[in-house]
């Protein structure tokens, strides 16, 4: 289906598209029908405003960024201006260790920007444009109210022509291999490759999610269904409120620098961050994590919950590890991941 028709369908969703009964000659439309029509028009306008608030973000990381291997130095994706702060919300990995940031709105205006906040816990990033953008901005919705099979709007930079419909395939906890765990992640179908920082907008024109990944199991972990994963907007609300109030938010957790995959109840180390805490303790790709603090772990969720409950960054983490045919207890001195990253100010 052409994109213009998909967007028209999205606007139809916003307006609910409930046909009103045709009044007989001389009969006035019922007040309720008129009110519903006006409400639909307001919702459709809010949807258009939200789509217009989606911008392009181009980032160049610092030359010696630790994330070059996984993310590259030049990155591009989307973000969305949020009202009333004027900050741009995006997915955090785009702006990790940023050297320069350029933001382009749908009118073609490009301005420089800076990192306002990067939250490792949720995965969100907030960008502050050097000068305010003219977009009205989108209001934050309630991602907790999003339900399976709901039809939403998937919007990237480029205006209406870059918007399409998405259907919620599932909502569930998501554990990422990079020491990442969130509740109520939103999984949508069909998949789109331009998901980084994309906006997920509901029928009222409110933002309910930010695009993070393309996945193979959108409907269920046990069934192959290609789709996208969105970080739910409810996780960013307290962050935005505190930044708007001029307060810094502390979300640091103990981090050890492991990329780990869960396979049939075993946790295999895929990669060890060079110069990170786990590397310093002697862990290597191919090791198997059996336990933490003497307690057996069989899932990424168990592993992360025990890791993060061990204390603040700097806490000693005791891992039970299978290396080859030997089981070892390895002590890893955790740290704040943000302090490990390199920024312009650290060069």
pTM: 0.89
pLDDT digits (tens, 9 = 90+) for 15-62: 455 444 455 555 555 665 565 566 678 888 999 999 999 999 999 999
SS3 289: strand
- Which of 251, 269, 296 is the endpoint of a domain? 251
Is beta strand 254-255 parallel, antiparallel or unpaired with respect to 207-215?
Answer: unpaired
Please give the residue that has the higher pLDDT: either 138 or 34.
Answer: 138
Q: Which pair of tokens denotes residue 302?
A: 């168990």
CATH code at 154? 2.40.10.120
Residues in contact with 164: Cβ distance below 8 Å, sequence separation at least 6, in sequence order: 3, 6, 7, 10, 153, 154, 192
- 247 and 262 fall within a common domain: no
Give the residue-averaged pLDDT of 264-293.
96
24 inside domain: no
Residue 284 belongs to domain with CATH number: 2.30.42.10
Which of these, 18, 51, 78, 41, lies nearest to 206 by C-alpha position?
Answer: 51
Check if the beta carbon of residue 241 is closer than 8 Å to that of residue 110: no
Q: Examine the domain organization and report whether 93 and 202 are in the same domain.
A: yes
Q: Where in the sequence is the domain holding 312, given as residue range(s)?
A: 254-340
Using the predicted structure, report yes or no on whether residue 2 has a pLDDT greater than 80: no
Based on the domain organization, do 73 and 167 belong to the same domain?
Answer: yes
| Position 345 in a domain | no
Question: Which residue, 183, 218, 251, sits at the end of a domain?
Answer: 251
Mean pLDDT of the chain: 89
Spatial distance between the Cα atoms of 228 and 223, rounded to a whole number of angstroms: 14
Asked if residue 318 belongs to a domain, the reply is yes
Q: What are phi and psi of 315, to 5 degrees?
A: -65, 145
Domain boundary among the residues 208, 233, 251 is at 251
- Bridge partner residues of 213 (DSSP): 229
Q: Are residues 227 and 271 in the same domain?
A: no
Render pLDDT for 56-96 as a digit per residue (tens, 0 to 9).
999 999 999 999 999 999 999 999 999 999 999 999 999 99
pLDDT at residue 182 above 80? Answer: yes
Please state, in angstroms and rounded to a whole number, the distance separating the CA atoms of residues 126 and 88.
6
Assigned domain for 346 exists: no
180 occurs within a structural domain: yes
Position with higher pLDDT, 89 vs 343: 89
106 and 193 in a single domain? The answer is yes
- Residues 43, 153 within the same domain: yes
């Amino acid at each position: 289906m052409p994109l213009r028709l998909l967007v028209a369908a999205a606007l139809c969703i916003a307006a609910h598209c409930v046909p009103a009964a045709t009044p007989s000659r001389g009969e006035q439309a019922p007040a309720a029908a008129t009110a519903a029509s006006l409400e639909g028009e307001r919702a459709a306008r809010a949807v258009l405003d939200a789509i217009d608030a989606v911008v392009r973000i181009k980032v160049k990381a610092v030359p010696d960024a630790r994330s070059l291997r996984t993310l590259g130095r030049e990155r591009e994706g989307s973000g969305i201006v949020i009202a009333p702060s004027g900050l741009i919300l995006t997915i955090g990995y785009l702006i990790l260790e940023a050297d320069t940031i350029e933001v382009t709105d749908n009118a073609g205006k490009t301005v420089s920007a800076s990192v306002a906040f990067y939250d490792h816990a949720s995965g969100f990033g907030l960008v502050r444009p050097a000068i305010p953008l003219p977009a009205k901005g989108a209001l934050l919705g309630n991602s907790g109210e999003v339900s399976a099979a709901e039809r939403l709007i998937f919007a990237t930079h480029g205006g209406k022509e870059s918007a399409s419909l998405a259907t919620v395939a599932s909502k569930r906890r998501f554990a990422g291999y990079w020491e990442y765990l969130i509740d109520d992640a939103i999984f949508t179908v069909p998949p789109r490759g331009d998901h980084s920082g994309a906006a997920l907008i509901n029928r009222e024109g409110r933002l309910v999610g930010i695009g993070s990944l393309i996945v193979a199991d959108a409907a269920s972990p046990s069934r192959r269904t290609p789709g996208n994963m969105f970080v739910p907007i409810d996780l960013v609300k307290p962050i935005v409120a505190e930044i708007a109030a001029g307060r810094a938010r502390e979300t640091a957790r103990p981090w050890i620098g492991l990329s780990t995959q869960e396979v049939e109840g075993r946790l295999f180390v895929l990669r060890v961050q060079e110069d990170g805490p786990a590397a310093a303790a002697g862990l290597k790709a191919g090791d198997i994590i059996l336990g933490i603090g003497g307690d057996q772990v069989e899932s990424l969720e168990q592993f992360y919950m025990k890791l993060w409950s061990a204390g603040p960054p700097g806490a000693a983490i005791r891992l039970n590890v299978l290396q080859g045919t030997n089981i070892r207890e390895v002590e890893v001195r955790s740290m704040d991941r943000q302090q490990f990253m390199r920024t312009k100010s650290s060069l």
